[in-house]
Structures are given as structure tokens and as C-alpha cells.
Amino acid sequence: MFNSFFFVFPITTLVNQKKEGPMKTVFGAYNNFRVGVKLAMGFGLILLMAAIIMLSGINGFRNIDAYSQKSIISNNINSYLEEARRERLRFQYTHDYAAINKNGELLNKMTQSLNVAQTMKWDADTRILLDKIIQSGKEYNVARENLISASQKRDAVGQKLSQDTIGKVIDTLRGQFDAATLPAELRLEFMYINEGLSDIKDTAHELTLIPSAETEAALRKALSTAQHAITQALSKYSAEQQAWLNQAWQLFATYNGDITLYMAAYQEENAASQRMADIALVLNQSATQLYQTQLDKVDNITRQSQYEQWIIGLAIIALGVLMAWRITLQLTRPLRQSLSLAERIAQGDLTASITVTRKDELGQLMSAMNAMNHKLRDMIGTIREGVSNVASAASEIAAGNTDLSSRTEQQSAAVVETAASMEQLTSTVKQNADNAHHASQLAADASGNATKGGQIVTNVVSTMNEIATSSRRISEITSVINGIAFQTNILALNAAVEAARAGEQGRGFAVVAGEVRNLAQRSAQAAKEIETLIGESVTRVNTGSTQVESAGKTMDEIIRSIAHVHDIMGEIASASDEQSRGINQISNAIAEMDATTQQNAALVEESSAAANSLEEQAQALEQAVSIFRLGHDDSHRPTRSAHKPGAVGAKKPLMLAGTGAGARSGNDEWESF
């Protein structure tokens, strides 16, 4: 049982190994077991320990019970033999056949116990001893039968020597001889004969009780004395009395042969009794040895069971303590490491890192905590960088919006100047119309010059149409700028919202910031186109002014040449009125563009304010995430580059109509934005 215990638990031998490699392999594999498996192993081990103790106890009790049964049988055999010995001795001294029959019954019970014992499992030595008892029992039965036969023979011979037989002879003889009627000398002889017969009776009785050579000799002497007395007195009695004496004597004469037979039967009985006693001695010794052996074995198996219980109990306790220590260590160590890592994360320290070699739930927990720490560290670093970039971009957007606001104001001023120039142009056209009315009388003399002047006026009209077309494009582009500015405002508001959520949606802010930059670029491009178109409009207006001046000179020549062509000049005056109305429309469009530009300036200011708020929120977010320590990454934290917005270009007033100088574009300022 003890060996099987250590065969079932080879781990106890593994614990005692001195080589570290196999131990690491065993415990490494154990580390990868799931917590449920470890707990199942622990509780299973406890149950197995209880089962081992129970099985060991049951096995010990079974062994004790088996040896106890054998001890009981051995004790029964010994008891039966002891009682049989007493009955045998009682029979030898009393010749009471009830005793020898009782002896036989006890021997039968002993034989039954031996038969039961033969069905049991015995060791080799005990089996030899048991076979010896069985063989001795058989010999004892043979000796018993011999003793019974010899005793019966002795009793049969002894019956002839019994007091009853001799007493009957003496009583019969006494009845035949009346001492009172006998003569005195015969009376004395009869007394001698009677005394001799009585002596034979007593000695024969003594011989049957205590057979010995001395008693045999005394009985033979008594027979000889009685024979001599009868022989001496036989002739003195009557014939009838002599017949009775001879009959009595013949009876006693057979005593010598009976004595010989009796002593022979006695010797045979004595030999059978001695043989039976010798066999009984061996049998008793063997039975006693068997009983003592079983008692010793019961004692030994009891002590062995106790030792096994102690050894198994101590081994199981040691193994249980080892498994409890190992399971506790397996559960508490990773929990302490995970708790330490969680506490450091809670304190904002993300520099910690743990090495995980386990694959169970606790190892997965440690891996998850470690991965969470690394991802949180990367995320905080990314957030820091994103927040810094957002703050920098917001600062740049604010500066750009400020710059754009300044440029929009400049553009508004230029539009105002353009409107003033158009008003002057309108006044000039009206004046030309008046002059045309005054010169209508001179038109007749200078029809050719009038034709030339008409062509010039046609060119002026075409130029003014182009100006109108450009103005319409300016209006469309201004609408685009207005839409872009509106979308920019919406995106700026979204950027502010995203900044508030930057802790979890930093990437959304990056998208919004990208859209802001795209819209800003589109706004810049539209602004560039506006500036270009305005420049073209100014150029065309200047060209128109030049042409109008040329037309004016021509008209002067026409007035001087065709003063009398009133009708034609009337038409010219009418055309001038139409031109004046077109220029008024252009002036109205420019006024509307000026209002739109003012609105754009206001929207740009609002966008600048929103960008400033976004920058403040980004700074607050950056300060919020600064509580986390990222180790060596802290030294590489992205720094916000100071934005240096491009200098606002000096306002360049537009050339008024009639100056002849083209407006200069500001592409360099727009590109800097």
C-alpha cells in the first residue's frame, strides 16, 4: 500500500530532485494550467489523499481482521486441544467412555476449524505449521483409536478380575460352607481359604486400579497362597465341598492367564496412551505456536498499519502543504503583480512593464494589463502629440484667420474705392452725354469722325460688358467664399466639440482639422481668384477710362467737326445714357460685393475666435493628459511650434478710373496664408 502511494504520486519524488531543469519544466507546465484545473487538481488531491488514507486504513483493518480470524481459529484449535487433553486424561484415569467420546467431539470440532483454516491464505511457514497440525491430528485420531481399543481390551480382561466376579464366587462358596457346622479344624482351614480368597479379591481390585509389577506379584502370591491353602484342606472336606472348592479354584486358576492378559492390555493401553500423549504434546505445541504466531502477526500488522498511517499521513500532509503553497503562490503572485501595475497606472505612471510567462487566466490577466498599459502609454503619447498638433494647428488657424480678416478688410476697402471710381465714371459718362447733345449740331460736319467715335464707343461698351461679366464672376466667387466661410465656421464649431472629447476621439479631431485646412485652402484659392478678377476689372476699367478719354477727344473733334449733326449726336447721347445705366448696375453689384465682403470679414473674425477657443481647449486637454508619465517618451514629447503668421501686406489703393495704372495682385500674401 505504501509503495503504491508513492507510485500514484510521483510528484513527491520530483520535488526532491536536485536538477533544476526538470523542475522548471514541471512547474512551467503547471503554470500554464487554467485556474479551474489547478483548483480541481488541489481539491482532487485532497480527495485522493482522503481516499488513500481510507484505503490504507481499510487495507490495514482487513489485514487485522484476516489475522484476527486466523487468531480466532488458532485459539479455537488450541482450546479444543486443551479440552480434548483434559477429557483424554479423565478417560485414562477413570475409563469413562463419555470422556473419550467428548474427546472425539472436540477433535471433530478441531478438524472443522482446520478445514476452515485450510481455505484461508497463509504464508509458507504458517502453512507448513498448519499442515503439521493437520497431520498430527490425523496421527492423534489413530492413536486415540488404538487407545480406545487397548482400553476396551483391558476393561474386558479387567472385568474378570473385578470385585464383583470374585465376590460372587466367595459369596457362593461361603453359602456352601456353614462355619457353624464345620469341625473346629476345618473351620480354621476354611478361614484361611476365605482369607486367601479375600486377599485375591482386594489385590485384584488394586491391580485393576493401579496396575504395576508389584501389584501383579502380590496378586500372583495371593493366588499361590490360596491355592496352597485349598490344596492342604481339600482332602478334609466332603466330596460335595471338595467339588465346590475345586470349582472355585478352577475359577481362580484362570486368574494367572487373565493377569497376564490384563498386564499385556495395560501395557498396550499405556503405550497407546503415551503415543497419544506424545502426539497431543506435539499437537498442543504446534497449536500454541500457531496461535502465538497469529497473535504476533496481528500485533505486527497492527503496528505496521499504524506506521503506514503515520508515514502516509505525514507524506500526504507534506504533499498537501506543498500543493497548497504552490497553488497559493500561483494565485497570489500574479494578482500582486497585476495589482501593483494597476496602482501605478492609477497614479499615472505608465512606465511600468511586467514579463508574463504563464498561459492561464492570471497570465492572460497580466498580459491584458501589460497590453493595456502599453496601449494606454501609446494612446496618451499619441493624444499628447495630437493635442499639441491640434493646439499648434488651432494657433495657426487663428493667426491665419486674423490675417484673412485683415486682408478681407483690405479687399473691402478696395471694393469701396472701386465703387467710388465707378461713380466718377458714371458722372463722366453723363457729362459726355451732355457734351454729345451740345455737339450734335457739329456732328454733321464730321460724320467720318462720328463713325470713328461710334466705333470707339462700341469698344467702350464691349469693355464695359466684359467688366460686367467679370463682376458677375466676382459675385459667384464671393458666394463660394461665403459658403466656404460658413462651412469653416461649422467645422470650427465641430473642432471645438471634438476638442472637448479629445480624450477618446482624438482621431476625429484630426479629420476635422484636415477639413478645416482644406476649406481654408479653398477659401484662400477663392480669395486669390477674387483678387485676380478684381485686378482684371480694375485693368479693364482703366482701359475703358482710357478709351473713354480717347472717345472724349474724338467727340471733341466730332463736336468741332459735326456740330450740325444733331440727330446723330442724339443717338450718341442715348447710347451714353444706356452706358450710364449699365455703369450704375455695375456700381450696385460692387456695392453688394462690398456688403458680402463685410459679412465675410465678420465670419472670419468669428472663425478666429472659435480657433482661439479651440486652442485653449487643446491646451487644457494637453494639461489634463500631462499627469501621465511615459518614461523615456516624456523627453520626446512633441513641442508646439510658434506660429508666425505672414505679415499683412500693406494696403495698396486701387487706381481710380482715369489714372491709367493697373492694380497689383497680392498672390504672395495669399500663398503665405
Work out the pLDDT band at 517, boundaries 50, 70, 90.
low
Spell out the residues 6+ positions from residue 276 whose beta carbon is closer than 8 angstroms to its own: 88, 140, 143, 144, 146, 147
DSSP code per residue over 250-264: HHHHTHHHHHHHHHH
pLDDT above 50 for 236:
yes
Residue spans of the domains in the chain: they are: 2-156+267-329, 180-264, 375-575+603-672
Lowest model confidence (mean pLDDT) among 181-195, 495-509, 536-550, 635-649: 635-649
pLDDT above 80 for 142:
yes
User: What cell does 226 get?
Assistant: 490360596
pLDDT of residue 635: 46
Distance, in Å, from the CA atom of 267 to the CA atom of 259, rounded to the nearest integer, reads 12
Alpha-carbon distance values, 594 to 335, 425, 471 (Å): 72, 18, 12
Residue pair 206/259 in contact (Cβ under 8 Å)? The answer is no
Distance, in Å, from the CA atom of 461 to the CA atom of 540, rounded to the nearest integer, reads 11
- Among the ranges 135-149, 546-560, 643-657, which has the highest mean pLDDT value? 135-149
Lowest model confidence (mean pLDDT) among 184-188, 335-339, 407-411, 426-430: 184-188
Q: What share of the chain is helix, strand, coil (3-state, %, to 5)?
A: 85, 0, 15
Lowest model confidence (mean pLDDT) among 233-237, 429-433, 598-602: 233-237
pLDDT above 50 for 4:
no
Q: What is the pLDDT of residues 375-410, one digit of tens each?
A: 877 887 788 777 778 877 877 887 887 787 787 778
Whether this model's pTM surpasses 0.75: no
Stretch 553-569: mean pLDDT: 65
Distance, in Å, from the CA atom of 142 to the CA atom of 148, rounded to the nearest integer, reads 10
Stretch 498-523: mean pLDDT: 68
Q: What is the pLDDT of residues 571-614, one digit of tens each?
A: 777 777 777 777 778 878 887 887 888 788 778 777 778 877 87
Mean pLDDT of the chain: 70
Higher-confidence position of 3 and 488: 488
Higher-confidence position of 671 and 448: 448
CATH class held by domain 2-156+267-329: mainly alpha
What is the percentage of the chain residues whose pLDDT exceeds 70? 61
One-letter amino acid at 245 equals L
Residue pair 67/301 in contact (Cβ under 8 Å)? The answer is yes
Higher-confidence position of 282 and 207: 282
Residue pair 164/272 in contact (Cβ under 8 Å)? The answer is no
pLDDT above 60 for 315:
yes
Question: Shortest CA distance to 642 belongs to which of 402, 388, 405?
Answer: 388
Displacement of CA 178 from its chain's centroid (Å) = 124
pLDDT above 80 for 108:
yes
Bridge partners for 563 per DSSP: 442
pLDDT of residue 258: 72
Work out the pLDDT band at 52, boundaries 50, 70, 90.
confident
pLDDT of residue 265: 75
Stretch 280-302: mean pLDDT: 78
Residue count of the chain: 673
Distance, in Å, from the CA atom of 238 to the CA atom of 235, rounded to the nearest integer, reads 8
Stretch 616-636: mean pLDDT: 67
Higher-confidence position of 261 and 499: 261
Bridge partners for 442 per DSSP: 563
Work out the pLDDT band at 196, boundaries 50, 70, 90.
low
pLDDT of residue 138: 83
Phi, psi of 304 (to 5 degrees): -65, -40
Higher-confidence position of 126 and 538: 126
Work out the pLDDT band at 492, boundaries 50, 70, 90.
low
pLDDT of residue 46: 77
DSSP code per residue over 185-220: HHHHHHHHHHHHHHHHHHHHHHHHHS--HHHHHHHH
Q: What is the pLDDT of residues 337-348, one digit of tens each?
A: 778 878 877 777
Stretch 301-317: mean pLDDT: 81
pLDDT of residue 560: 66
pLDDT above 70 for 132:
yes
pLDDT of residue 272: 79
Q: Which 3 state secondary structure label does DSSP give 665? A: coil
Stretch 502-508: mean pLDDT: 64
Bridge partners for 629 per DSSP: 349
Bridge partners for 349 per DSSP: 629
Work out the pLDDT band at 545, boundaries 50, 70, 90.
low
Residue pair 274/263 in contact (Cβ under 8 Å)? The answer is no
pLDDT above 60 for 655:
no
pLDDT of residue 437: 67
Residue pair 31/355 in contact (Cβ under 8 Å)? The answer is no
